[in-house]
């Protein structure tokens, strides 16, 4: 894969950098927006700083949220430009269009080392178009703004989109430092992991993780399963799960994984106790019951599991501490609610305590560790791309990486 070094001297050249600045925003009662997790902005700074030091003129491009191919103030990147300037310790210009006269003029006005952020790419329908011609036309407009392209938005390299795939074919292109670092970590997880190797999977749906389980069950020693997806595993073993999240159409698939694990000598660790609640609410009445007797709670068949229990969390932590490599994707419960956050907190704490190499697989997992007060540098690596990481670990090819080969 081509890296920054392959582009040669970049002084006075205009370099377009595809970042992933898709950060969560909150809006207060006055309509003011604030960034609730700036992790992806921080992750982008390494490449930006290197390009500034090289004297490049830097044009940052990114998406935010899911606008419908038209300008939508709710998804403007303007707050991101302000926060990036604070973190970078240097001005970051902003122009409220992706391509056009204002964007071209702002780019032309850049001096060596300047940084400019264009408005949300997805305000243009060409960015995500399934039509190659429409996507290519938008990419050509972007390419006209620069001399070289750096792909540094790892969270989107699994997308065949104009700014990820087509643009890389129109300009001298290379991976930025973030994408290169992410790829190195993922290759280590799939090809060179130190053993014992444990994978912790959570989140709501088994169906979101099927490919990962299928690909990693041949490579790991221990698979720990929590989150909403665990109830499909428990049901596959014949246990009643009350009103808990259940994907009945995945029961046979899960039974197959359980059998495959036995035949391969892979240990699958499921919770032995569950925090069951009366309803899906932060202040809901709740209690801890055995995982094989969820409907024995005070709420009967109406109870729903919202976290792994304390005994399970302790067992998960012990398995993590015994491992030399740990990959974690997906919270253990509804961590946004304090009553159902302890399983996720215990797993996160275990990852910070172990001497092994630990990887937090982006998405909700990254959001959880930050929301619970853990520092990024307490882990071996926090991925910026949940979906991209999972697809890589499933063994899929990623268009945004293929085009840089």
What is the average pLDDT across 151-177?
Answer: 97
Q: What are phi and psi of 131, to 5 degrees?
A: -85, 120
Distance (Å, whole) CA 179 – CA 177: 6
Choice among 205, 219, 255, 267 that is catalytic? 205
Choice among 228, 309, 330, 363 that is catalytic? 363
Residue 159 annotated in ligand binding? yes
Q: What is the pLDDT of residues 18-39, one digit of tens each?
A: 999 999 999 888 888 899 989 9
Structure confidence at residue 161 (pLDDT):
98
Q: What is the pLDDT of residues 267-278, one digit of tens each?
A: 999 999 999 999
Residue 336 annotated in ligand binding? yes
Between strands 325-329 and 14-18, the pairing is unpaired
Structure confidence at residue 204 (pLDDT):
86
Residue 298 annotated in ligand binding? no
Structure confidence at residue 145 (pLDDT):
98
Structure confidence at residue 32 (pLDDT):
85
Domain boundaries, the chain: 4-177, 185-394
What is the average pLDDT across 121-136?
Answer: 97
Choice among 55, 100, 211, 387 that is catalytic? 387
Catalytic residue check, 227 = no
Q: What is the pLDDT of residues 342-399, one digit of tens each?
A: 999 999 999 999 999 999 987 788 889 999 999 999 999 999 887 888 899 888 899 9
Q: Over the Cα atoms of the chain, what is R_g?
A: 23
For residue 384 the two structure tokens come to: 């910026």
Q: Three-state SS across the chain?
A: CCEHHHHCCCCCCEEEEECCCCCCEEECCCCCEEECCCHHHHHHHHHHHHHHHCCCEEEEECCCCCCCCCCCHHHCCHHHHHHHHHHHCCCCEEECCCCCHHHHHHHHCCCCCCEEEECCHHHCCCCCCCCHHHHHHHHHHHHCCCCEEEECCHHHCCCCCHHHHHHHHHCCEEECHHHHHHHHHHHHHHHCCCCCEEEEECCCCHHHCHHHHHHHCCCCCEEEECCCCHHHHHHHCCCCCCCCCCCHHHHHHHHHHHHHHHHHCCEEECCCEEEEECCCCCCCCEEEEEHHHHHHCCCHHHCEEEEECHHHHHHHHHHHHCCCEEEEECCCCCCCCHHHCHHHHHHHHHHHHCCCEEEECCHHHHHHHHHCCCCHHHCCEECCCHHHHHHHHCCCCCHHHHCCC
Residue 124 annotated in ligand binding? no
Distance (Å, whole) CA 99 – CA 120: 10
Structure confidence at residue 321 (pLDDT):
97
Catalytic residue check, 40 = yes
Catalytic residue check, 205 = yes
Same fold, 4-177 and 185-394: yes
Catalytic residue check, 169 = no
Specify the CATH class of 185-394 in words: alpha beta
**CB 248: neighbour CB atoms within 10 A?**
9
Homologous superfamily of the 4-177 domain (CATH): Phosphoglycerate kinase, N-terminal domain (3.40.50.1260)
Choice among 13, 18, 40, 57 that is catalytic? 40
Mean predicted lDDT score pLDDT of the chain: 95
């Amino acid at each position: 894969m081509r890296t920054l070094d392959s582009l040669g001297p970049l002084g006075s050249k205009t370099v377009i950098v595809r970042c992933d600045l898709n950060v969560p925003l909150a809006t207060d009662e006055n309509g003011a927006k604030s960034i609730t997790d700036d992790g992806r902005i921080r992750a982008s700074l390494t490449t930006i700083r290197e390009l500034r030091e090289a004297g490049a003129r830097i044009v940052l491009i990114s998406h935010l949220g899911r606008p419908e191919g038209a300008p939508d103030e709710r998804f403007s990147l303007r707050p991101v430009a302000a926060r990036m300037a604070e973190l970078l310790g240097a001005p970051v210009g902003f122009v409220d269009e992706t391509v056009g006269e204002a964007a071209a003029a702002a780019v032309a006005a850049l001096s060596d080392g300047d940084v400019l952020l264009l408005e949300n790419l997805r305000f243009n329908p060409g960015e995500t178009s399934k039509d190659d011609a429409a996507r290519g036309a938008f990419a050509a407009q972007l390419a006209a703004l620069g001399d070289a392209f750096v792909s540094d938005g790892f969270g989107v390299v699994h997308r065949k989109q104009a700014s990820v795939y087509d643009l890389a074919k129109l300009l001298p292109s290379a991976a930025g430092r973030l994408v290169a670092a992410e790829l190195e970590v993922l290759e280590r997880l799939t090809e060179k992991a130190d053993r014992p190797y444990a994978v912790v999977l959570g989140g709501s749906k088994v169906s979101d993780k099927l490919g990962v389980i299928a690909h990693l069950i041949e490579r790991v020693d221990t698979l720990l399963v929590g989150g909403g997806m665990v109830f499909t595993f428990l049901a596959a073993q014949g246990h009643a799960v009350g009103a808990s999240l259940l994907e009945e159409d995945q029961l046979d698939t899960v039974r197959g994984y359980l059998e495959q694990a036995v035949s391969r000598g892979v240990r699958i660790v499921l919770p032995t106790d569950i925090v069951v609640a009366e309803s899906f609410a932060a202040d809901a009445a709740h209690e801890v019951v055995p995982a094989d007797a969820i409907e024995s709670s005070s709420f009967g068949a109406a109870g729903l599991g919202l976290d792994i229990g304390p005994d399970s969390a302790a067992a998960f932590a012990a398995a993590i501490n015994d491992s030399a490599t740990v990959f974690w994707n997906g919270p253990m419960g509804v961590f946004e609610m304090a009553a159902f956050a302890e399983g996720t907190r215990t797993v996160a704490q275990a990852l910070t305590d172990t001497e092994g190499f630990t990887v937090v697989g982006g998405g909700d997992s990254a959001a959880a560790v930050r929301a619970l007060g853990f520092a990024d540098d307490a882990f071996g690596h926090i991925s910026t791309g949940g979906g991209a990481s999972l697809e890589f670990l499933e063994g899929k090819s990623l268009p945004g990486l293929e085009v840089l080969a």
